[in-house]
């Protein structure tokens, strides 16, 4: 592999001159520049990323800021990352994943001040997300996967939760279900202002009301135990329930386990729809879950494409786009059959 010294010898210039051609930090005559570029082409010399970054005043590194807990990334979250990483690579950038959440503002300020990242994609967005303010004040270009309450000055891509929930409820109502319970994320997550949890809550209420049905929402901790507890609470509130819609991928398997423990089968006794889910997760269950499939890979890709356009385009460029989840019918939904209402646990 050719080095900068090889280029300098062939072009009959100093190593520092080759460096100046690469970085643009000093003026070089066109004749000398042409000699250096010809030598680079003859030797198939590939300047390293640091040199290219100096030349363009960019690091060629983008950040994906995604809060994580001890569970790490599941298949659904991974789709966002792989979509973003592939798009960054196509655009000639490296993508760095950083688990910076709303409680890590000092870490975020330090990261922004180091100017290591040319731009940032922000995930797990809250309606009032202080990370947005920190990045804007630091002058870091950003695109959201998600939405704050006020998006007038922001670029974002997000799931169209209104359409997604509306289609999920329509699927269950179309099968004849009249008592549908929505299992959301935890009460703490709702209280934190997490956008998807609040938007789906409101969309569920609107969709059920539109069908003349009573909305019942249960908050669940993000765990299998949380799913079991949520289903017990659901039966306490709606003993005659025949369908569960859930946007809590960790809790969904606890819901299925609790149904089995109560002697109820899916979908004969209770239908289940998992929302914002990857096919890999949906097919882990028995029966495989009917799901509103997450467009995670597409959202990751579009966010990076929008961010790279910001880096090269005008400062007031905005990209705002919503994508719905796609209904994929598998084995966990069917028309309801009559059964005795479940008696709530004492």
- The CATH number covering residue 74 comes to 3.40.50.2300
Domain co-membership, 167 together with 290: yes
Q: H/E/C letters for each residue in the chain? A: CCCHHHHHHHHCCCHHHHHHHHHCCCCCCHHHHHHHHHHHHHHCCCCCHHHHHHHHCCCCEEEEECCCCCCCCCHHHHHHHHHHHHHHHHCCCEEEEECCCCCCHHHHHHHHHCCCCCEEEECCCECCCHHHHHHHHCCCCEEEECCCCCCCCCCEEEECHHHHHHHHHHHHHHHCCCCEEEEECCHHHHHCCEHHHHHHHHHHHHHHHHCCCCCEEEECCCCHHHHHHHHHHHHHHCCCCCEEEECCCCCHHHHHHHHHHCCCCCCCCCEEEEEEECHHHHCCCCCCCEEEECCHHHHHHHHHHHHHHHHHCCCCCCCEEEECCEEECCCCCCCCCCCCCCCCCC
**Do both 15 and 81 map to the same domain?**
no
Its pTM stands at: 0.81
Q: Are residues 206 and 340 in the same domain?
A: yes
Q: Are residues 338 and 208 in the same domain?
A: yes
- Tell me what pLDDT residue 342 has: 55
Same domain, 182 and 227: yes
Instruction: Tell me: do 287 and 175 sit in the same domain.
Output: yes
> What pLDDT does 56 receive?
52
The total number of structural domains that make up the chain: 3
> Is residue 53, in this structure, part of any structural domain at all?
no
Same domain assignment for residues 24 and 151: no
pLDDT tens, residue order, the chain (346 aa): 778 888 899 999 998 888 777 766 677 888 898 898 899 888 888 766 555 554 556 678 999 999 876 666 778 888 999 999 999 998 888 999 988 877 778 888 888 888 889 999 999 999 999 999 999 999 999 999 999 999 999 999 999 999 999 999 999 999 999 999 999 999 999 999 999 999 999 999 999 999 999 999 999 999 999 999 999 999 999 999 999 999 988 899 999 999 999 999 999 999 999 999 999 999 999 999 999 999 999 999 999 999 999 988 777 789 999 999 999 999 999 999 875 555 555 4
284 and 213 fall within a common domain: yes
Quick check: is 54 in a domain? Answer: no
- Clarify whether residues 132 and 210 are in a common domain: no
Q: CATH number of the domain at 36, please.
A: 1.10.260.40
Task: Say yes or no: 223 and 334 in one domain.
Answer: yes
Q: In terms of domains, do 152 and 255 share one?
A: no
13 in the same domain as 152: no
Residue 174 exposed, middle or buried by CB count within 10 Å (0-12, 13-18, 19+): exposed
**Domain of 102, in residue numbers:** 61-159+296-325
């Amino acid at each position: 592999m050719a080095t900068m010294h090889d280029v300098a010898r062939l072009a009959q210039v100093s190593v520092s001159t080759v460096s100046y051609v690469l970085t643009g930090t000093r003026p070089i005559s066109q004749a000398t520049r042409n000699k250096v570029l010809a030598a680079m082409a003859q030797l198939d010399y590939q300047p390293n990323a640091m040199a290219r970054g100096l030349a363009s005043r960019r690091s060629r590194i983008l950040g994906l800021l995604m809060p994580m807990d001890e569970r790490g990334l599941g298949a659904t979250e991974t789709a966002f990352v792989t979509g973003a990483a592939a798009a960054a690579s196509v655009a000639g950038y490296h993508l760095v994943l950083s688990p910076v959440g709303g409680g890590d503002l000092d870490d975020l300020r330090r990261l922004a001040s180091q100017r290591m990242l040319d731009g940032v994609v922000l995930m797990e967005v809250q309606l009032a997300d202080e990370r947005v303010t920190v990045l804007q004040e630091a002058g870091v270009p950003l695109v959201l996967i998600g939405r704050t309450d006020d998006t007038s000055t922001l670029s974002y891509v997000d799931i169209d939760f209104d359409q997604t929930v509306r289609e999920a409820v329509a699927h269950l109502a179309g099968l004849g279900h009249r008592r549908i319970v929505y299992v959301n994320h935890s009460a703490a997550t709702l209280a934190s202002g997490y956008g998807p949890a609040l938007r789906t809550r409101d969309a569920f209420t609107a969709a059920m009301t539109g069908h003349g049905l009573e909305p019942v929402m249960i908050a669940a901790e993000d765990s299998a135990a949380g799913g079991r507890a949520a289903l017990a609470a659901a039966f306490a509130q709606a003993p005659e329930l025949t369908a569960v819609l859930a946007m809590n991928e960790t809790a969904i398997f606890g819901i299925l386990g609790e149904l089995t423990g109560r002697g109820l089968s899916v979908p004969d006794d209770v239908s289940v729809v998992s929302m914002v889910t990857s096919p890999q997760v949906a097919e882990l269950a028995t029966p495989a879950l009917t799901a509103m499939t997450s467009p995670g890979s597409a959202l990751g890709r579009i966010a990076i494409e929008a961010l790279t356009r910001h880096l090269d385009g005008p400062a007031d460029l905005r990209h705002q786009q919503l994508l719905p989840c796609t209904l994929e019918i598998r084995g966990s939904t069917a028309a309801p059959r009559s059964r005795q209402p479940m008696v709530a646990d004492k």
